[in-house]
Chain A
Amino acid sequence: MSIERQEIEKLATLSRIAISEDTITEVSQRLSSVLELVDQLQAVNTDGVEAMSHPMKATQRLREDEVSEINQRDAFLAIAPDTEEGLFLVPKVIE
């Protein structure tokens, strides 16, 4: 199974990863060879087989709806690339 340039561009957009023009062929080759590997799954008969979600069939626990985290705003802001007045800063979104 080979993967077309157009598809790579779509995946790059969905993943928010810029892919440079000169690597697109290489990326396409690597992805195609992995997809060829995983395409072996298509031949398996899985009729009536339940998809596995947890090895021990564990389900999510419920807990009381109460505050369990302490306020660490300053600690989290201190490691951010750019902040202002207690907020994370990003390039202007609205003109």
Chain B
Amino acid sequence: MHNLTIAELVTGLQSKEFSSVELTQHFLARIARLDANYNAVITVTADQALKAAAAADKRLAAGNAPALCGVPILHKDIFCTNGVRTSCGSKMLDNFIPPYNATVVENFEKAGAVVLGKTNMDEFAMGSSNETSFYGPVKNPWASDSVPGGSSGGSAAAVAARLAPGATATDTGGSIRQPAALCGITGLKPTYGRVSRWGMIAFASSLDQGGPMARTAEDCAILLNCMASYDDKDSTCIDREVPDYSATLGDSIKGLKIGVPKEYFSEGLDADTEKAVRVALAEYEAQGAELIEISLPNTGLSVPAYYVIAPAEASTNLTRFDGVRYGYRCEDPKDLNDLYTRTRAEGFGDEVKHRILIGTYCLSAGYYDAYYGKAQQVRQLIQQDFEKAFEQVDVIMGPTTPSPAFKFGSKGDDPVAMYLEDIYTVATNLAGLPGMSVPCGMVEEKPVGLQIIGNYFDEARMLNIAHQYQQATQWHSLTPEGVA
């Protein structure tokens, strides 16, 4: 059952081939048996899941079941879940049990999905390797000595290892697409404002966006149908109709204009990764698409701009963790200042602390204009690059990451080496554009991802384009050893 896609599971449940309770038991047993190898799941909610599955089976029997009724999924541990610990991968929230659901969690509940548990992640979503999690790193199902990517590494590894058919994730600078690429699955970061951020623990509010992870584009479409919604409670959510993302998957892509940015194929890109991506582009040509070389001249500035804006916003957002209202509090504070400074020193890990300090520096008196102001101007230039490109092409394609999954500890000492892992992904966050990653090859027995960047609110077309590729290729259905 774990090798079936979400689309197949929905059909199987509705035609009573198996029940949601059977399915849920099957995935819970897999998590119990296999997750020691991956460390992808922080909290398993077995009792609630079985109860929800039993309720789903009743609705299925009554014949009025909603879209995802009885389908098991996992939530990234950044989405608040009523009554279930939501840690954000941090010691700071190790004891935090939210009294409410995130809108995304609420949407899946309404659609009848069964939540198996919460997935591991880099602390407060700050990382590209899952090495910053308080709960220990997640291991890549394709190579246990290598990272799964981050920050949604737990969700990506869980889907790759068939511990769940799909999972929620979030992307601030590449945190859906990069782990999707390194774990050989499909992941979509929607347009900024498409998915509600309410109840999703904030990292960098102008960049954060939730999105789905699954093995296929078809499944991502099913999940996005449920995830995307307008929400009054998120003031940056855009009020715009949610199309049926499944309806257009079968459309022809003949005549599609694909922009290939030369900056995404320059120095730093691993030669075999490039080869895999070029082969994927040739497959699109074979399907009748046209490749057009384009330029995104400010690409090189996206990582520097990101590492001003994201830490600046994080330093502001993370002031709320003060040991007073919820979360970790240090022992025996001698006064209020001691309570704040020790709670934060002990509750946050190193990477989070460093980013708060950087952000504080960039926002402090005398530096604001030179750093944050400047970065927001550069962000405008990066957006203009994309605007110009989309006058000429329908979508943009390139590699998701410069190379396949790297080994644990290999980028530990130099933060900048780790930050450059996001070189092809951060620009879309800065511009607020949707991006996705689709498996497109294997290098040294590790997966490679093809990145598809679309225009604003063009998720339906991107999913269609990815689906057409997956109809003609098999990369998305490869299974890591020890998983089957």
Is A40 an interface residue, CB under 8 A from the partner? Answer: yes
Size of interface on A: residues with Cβ below 8 Å to B: 53
Min CB gap B272→A, angstroms: 27
Is B356 an interface residue, CB under 8 A from the partner? Answer: yes
Residue from the list B307, B336, B415 in contact with A90, Cβ < 8 A: B336
Chain A residues touching B, majority SS: loop
Determine the chain B residues whose CB is within 8 A of the CB of A63 once the complex forms.
232
The answer to whether B378 and A41 have CB atoms under 8 Å apart is yes
Is B67 an interface residue, CB under 8 A from the partner? Answer: no
Chain B residues touching A, range? 35 or more
Q: A34-B307, A37-B304, A41-B375 are in contact. Are A76 and B341 (CB under 8 A)?
A: no
Determine the chain B residues whose CB is within 8 A of the CB of A67 once the complex forms.
none
The answer to whether B370 and A80 have CB atoms under 8 Å apart is no
Given the complex of chains A and B, what is the CA–CA distance between A27 and B438 in angstroms? 37
Is B377 an interface residue, CB under 8 A from the partner? Answer: yes
Instruction: List residues 307-366 of chain B with CB under 8 A from any CB of chain A.
Output: 307-308, 315, 319, 322-329, 333-342, 344-345, 348, 353-354, 356-358, 360-362, 364
Given the complex of chains A and B, what is the CA–CA distance between A81 and B372 in angstroms? 35
Q: Beta-carbon contacts of A27-56 to B below 8 Å, as 1s and 0s? A: 100110111111111101010011111111
User: Of all chain B residues, which has the CB nearest A49?
Assistant: B377
The answer to whether A81 and B414 have CB atoms under 8 Å apart is no
The answer to whether B235 and A55 have CB atoms under 8 Å apart is no
User: Of all chain B residues, which has the CB nearest A3?
Assistant: B361
Given the complex of chains A and B, what is the CA–CA distance between A51 and B336 in angstroms? 37
Given the complex of chains A and B, what is the CA–CA distance between A61 and B233 in angstroms? 11
Given the complex of chains A and B, what is the CA–CA distance between A60 and B237 in angstroms? 10
Is B111 an interface residue, CB under 8 A from the partner? Answer: no
The answer to whether B341 and A58 have CB atoms under 8 Å apart is no
The answer to whether B358 and A52 have CB atoms under 8 Å apart is no
Min CB gap B373→A, angstroms: 6
Is B97 an interface residue, CB under 8 A from the partner? Answer: yes
Is B193 an interface residue, CB under 8 A from the partner? Answer: yes
The answer to whether A16 and B361 have CB atoms under 8 Å apart is no
Q: A17-B341, A52-B377, A79-B96 are in contact. Are A33 and B348 (CB under 8 A)?
A: no
Determine the chain B residues whose CB is within 8 A of the CB of A54 once the complex forms.
206, 236, 432
Given the complex of chains A and B, what is the CA–CA distance between A78 and B95 in angstroms? 12
Q: A46-B374, A52-B376, A58-B238 are in contact. Are A30 and B336 (CB under 8 A)?
A: no
The answer to whether A80 and B326 have CB atoms under 8 Å apart is yes
The answer to whether A17 and B376 have CB atoms under 8 Å apart is no
Given the complex of chains A and B, what is the CA–CA distance between A80 and B324 in angstroms? 7
Is B119 an interface residue, CB under 8 A from the partner? Answer: no
Determine the chain B residues whose CB is within 8 A of the CB of A60 once the complex forms.
235
The answer to whether B344 and A17 have CB atoms under 8 Å apart is yes
The answer to whether A15 and B374 have CB atoms under 8 Å apart is no
Min CB gap B449→A, angstroms: 23
Is B371 an interface residue, CB under 8 A from the partner? Answer: yes
What are the 7 closest A-B residue pairs judged by CB atoms, nearest first?
A55-B432, A51-B376, A81-B329, A75-B99, A18-B345, A46-B377, A18-B341
Having A41-B304, A50-B380, A52-B380, one finds 15 other A-B pairs with CB under 8 Å, namely A8-B357, A17-B356, A31-B354, A37-B416, A38-B304, A38-B307, A40-B304, A44-B381, A51-B380, A52-B377, A52-B379, A52-B383, A61-B235, A75-B99, A92-B335
Interface residues of B (CB under 8 A from A): 96-100, 192-193, 206, 232, 235-236, 238, 300-301, 303-305, 307-308, 315, 319, 322-329, 333-342, 344-345, 348, 353-354, 356-358, 360-362, 364, 370-371, 373-381, 383, 414-416, 419, 431-433, 456
5 contacts between A and B (CB under 8 A): A15-B357, A34-B416, A46-B374, A55-B383, A60-B235
